[in-house]
Amino acid sequence: MFEHELDRAMAQATVPIVEEQIGFWWERRHTRESIAWLPNSGSSRIALLPLRDGNCGWTEFPDDSNLLEAGNFGRESDVKCNNILEAMGNTPLIRLNRVTKGLPAEIYVKADYLNPGGSVKDRIGVWMIDEAERKGLLKPGGTIIEGTSGNTGVGLALVAAVRGYKVVFTITDKQSREKIDLLKAFGAEVIVCPTAVEPEDPHSYYSVAKKLAREIPNAFYPNQYENPMNPEAHYRTTGPEIWKDSDGKITHFICGMGTGGTISGAGRFLKEQNPQVKIIGVDPVGSLYYEYAKSGKIGKARTYVVEGIGEDIFPGTMDFKIVDDVLQVSDEECFVWARRLAKREGIFTGGSGGGCISVALRLAKDCKQDDLIVALLPDTGSRYLSKIFNDGWMREHGYADSEVTLTAADVIRVKYQNGKTRNPITVGPNQTVFHALSIMQQQDISQLPVFEGDESIGTVFEDQILNLALQGKELRKLIVREVMGAAMPQVPSNAPVERVTHILSHESPAVFVEMENGKLEVLTKFDLMDTIAGLVGQVR
Ligand SMILES: Cc1ncc(COP(=O)(O)O)c(C=O)c1O
């Protein structure tokens, strides 16, 4: 059975697991449960397995495919690891209890933020580097260079620290300060590149990483966007873990899509076990994925704030064939749900995890009693302490996280009840400034929207007109178009009242609320003060 006596000797002895010593003869493989070492040169019918005492033993199995069934070995709760890399994976599946009250289906989270580097990306760091070493693409003392939103960097930096490689990362300037500091803590060099440039731009973080990889000698560029080991890591570990821990009962897998590695790899494994499992992608408004999945069209990407999910490119690691549906999330719902999850379930994840929970809760409403939803939580909330979990930051950006969710339409409703609403009073762009001033005085208002047909194109303000008069300008000769400022900001009827408050204090003294019937209603600071006290009482 053994082609090489050496294989036999190593397999039968219990030897300490030291990668450098056995890596030459043995190939590292991840199984459903753990890590196994297969002989590179000899028989493929034995596997060398890590034991809990730090030594290793061996097992026989009929062929390579059965390795997954070879038994429950390796890491257990009291595991002793030979290095931090062995502590990766096997993250728990945790049931949500409070936020799911009254819903027919159960929601579990796959808590990948509990990986040693704090994210799901630990998994692909090891897999991409193992493969590069096997293929001779990365040699001792080499440099790993990657464009990363932060988490893949940490995964790679952990491998580099354990195995003695240098690391350089390019990162976009929208990433949180904590992520950059974290990469530096592991000894990485970090180059911050602009977010608001096209991917092909020479300053984009993709382009800079590629250029450095060409220029630095003995450099390896894992390129998580095209590296098949990215989805493979999830096919071999994340997917099997979820299948096993849900006892094969999972009906929906909900997962954010960045490179697409997680959803494509874990999703493929789950579909192979049961083709009925629905694989649902979560995509932020502004990313290209949603429109592409729905219509096959490549739209125009817009910037959004949530980190790690959504793309302005189509990576080779994203496999749309296994995705059954894609649901969109706003930045705000990602952040609000990340905060609620911490407060109500003690689960501390970032915005992309919050987005997955928001989608899981939306879906759960229409699920059956025995449906079992698994939502992936990619990274830890501690990466976002200065953003999502900072009340000041949330307020400044107009994100609302209140228990009583008042909307702009609620305020308008109370205005109606108080008999205060009237059709917006407007002025045309070619009317005189004097005319505009007379309207404001007659109606006792201090700003006037300018409309051209149905379109709101500007605003004139009482203060501004008085200043013009003081400067000696002839108000009967000036027309509105010449002096008007920007159009009033517009919010949808379901905008939280906190967003309206933010606009009123920072941007404009009045906003338009676009009601469900398409009519525009004006909301001012005065309206808010006038209505809000009574309104809170009513809604509570
Ligand atoms: C916070 C966060 N969420 C989600 C993802 C998406 O995972 P994937 O790239 O496997 O699609 C990433 C990827 O970088 C991430 O950093």
Nearest atom in ligand 1 to the alpha carbon of residue 258 is: 11
Any atom of ligand 1 within 6 Å of the Cβ of 262 = yes
Report the range out of 57-66, 418-427, 432-441, 517-526 with the highest average pLDDT: 432-441
Just give the CATH number of 93-116+233-396: 3.40.50.1100
Mean pLDDT estimate for the chain: 85
Residue nearest to atom 2 of ligand 1 (CA): 308
Distance 378 CA to ligand 1 centre (A): 6
Any atom of ligand 1 within 6 Å of the Cβ of 152 = yes
**Res 260 pLDDT > 50:** yes
Strands (E), 44-163: 46-50, 55-60, 93-95, 106-111, 143-147
Between 47 and 365, name the one with better pLDDT. 365
Q: Where are the domains of the chain?
A: 5-82, 93-116+233-396, 122-220, 408-539
State residue 242's pLDDT score: 98
Query: Which residues have a Cβ under 8 Å from the Cβ of 273 and sit 6 or more positions away?
Result: 243, 248
How is residue 505 written in tokens? 């204090």
Q: Say yes or no: do domains 93-116+233-396 and 408-539 share a fold.
A: no
Q: What is the pLDDT of residues 445-463, one digit of tens each?
A: 888 999 998 888 999 999 8
Cα angle 316-173-266, degrees, rounded to a multiple of 5: 30
Residue nearest to atom 3 of ligand 1 (CA): 308
Q: Which of 112, 115, 121, 382 to mutate to test the pocket of ligand 1 (most atoms within 8 A of CB)?
A: 121
Q: What is the mean pLDDT of residues 241-247?
A: 97
Q: Which of 259, 287, 377 to mutate to test the pocket of ligand 1 (most atoms within 8 A of CB)?
A: 259
Are the C-beta atoms of residues 121 and 150 closer than 8 Å to each other? no
Rounded to whole angstroms, how far apart are CA atoms 110 and 242? 7
Q: What is the pLDDT of residues 317-348, one digit of tens each?
A: 999 999 999 999 999 999 999 999 999 999 99
Are the C-beta atoms of residues 264 and 317 closer than 8 Å to each other? yes
Any atom of ligand 1 within 6 Å of the Cβ of 258 = yes
Strands (E), 366-410: 372-377
State residue 289's pLDDT score: 97
Rounded to whole angstroms, how far apart are CA atoms 62 and 213? 42
Distance 352 CA to ligand 1 centre (A): 8
Rounded to whole angstroms, how far apart are CA atoms 226 and 204? 17
Distance 121 CA to ligand 1 centre (A): 7
State residue 34's pLDDT score: 46
Q: Which of 269, 289, 331, 379 to mutate to test the pocket of ligand 1 (most atoms within 8 A of CB)?
A: 379
Is 101 marked active-site? no
Between 139 and 420, name the one with better pLDDT. 139
Q: What is the pLDDT of residues 273-318, one digit of tens each?
A: 999 999 999 999 999 999 999 999 999 999 999 999 999 999 999 9
State residue 390's pLDDT score: 94
Residue nearest to atom 16 of ligand 1 (CA): 308
How is residue 187 written in tokens? 């000894």
Distance 148 CA to ligand 1 centre (A): 10
Q: What is the mean pLDDT of residues 499-517?
A: 86
Cα angle 42-236-152, degrees, rounded to a multiple of 5: 110
Any atom of ligand 1 within 6 Å of the Cβ of 331 = no
Nearest to 146 by CA among 131, 160, 156: 156
Domain 408-539 has CATH 3.40.50.2300: no
Q: What is the mean pLDDT of residues 46-68?
A: 50
Architecture of domain 122-220: 3-Layer(aba) Sandwich (3.40)
DSSP 231-299: HHHIIIIIHHHHHHHTTT---EEEEE-SSSHHHHHHHHHHHHH-TTSEEEEEEEBTBSHHHHHHHS---
State residue 364's pLDDT score: 97
Distance 306 CA to ligand 1 centre (A): 11
Rounded to whole angstroms, how far apart are CA atoms 109 and 112? 9
How is residue 271 written in tokens? 């579909």
Q: What is the pLDDT of residues 11-38, one digit of tens each?
A: 444 444 444 334 444 455 444 344 555 5
Rounded to whole angstroms, how far apart are CA atoms 117 and 289? 27
Amino acid in the structure at residue 136: G
Any atom of ligand 1 within 6 Å of the Cβ of 379 = yes
Q: What is the mean pLDDT of residues 379-392?
A: 94
Q: Which of 114, 115, 119, 377 to mutate to test the pocket of ligand 1 (most atoms within 8 A of CB)?
A: 119
Q: What is the pLDDT of residues 188-198, one digit of tens each?
A: 999 999 988 88
Nearest atom in ligand 1 to the alpha carbon of residue 152 is: 14
Cα angle 243-247-251, degrees, rounded to a multiple of 5: 65
DSSP 365-377: TT--TT-EEEEEE
Kindly indicate the confidence band of residue 422, based on its pLDDT and cuts at 50, 70 and 90. low
Residue tagged active-site, from 80, 101, 110, 121 = 121
Q: What is the mean pLDDT of residues 468-484?
A: 93
Q: What is the mean pLDDT of residues 43-61?
A: 53
- Three-state SS for 285-313 is ECECHHHHHHHCCCCCCCCCCCCCCCCCC
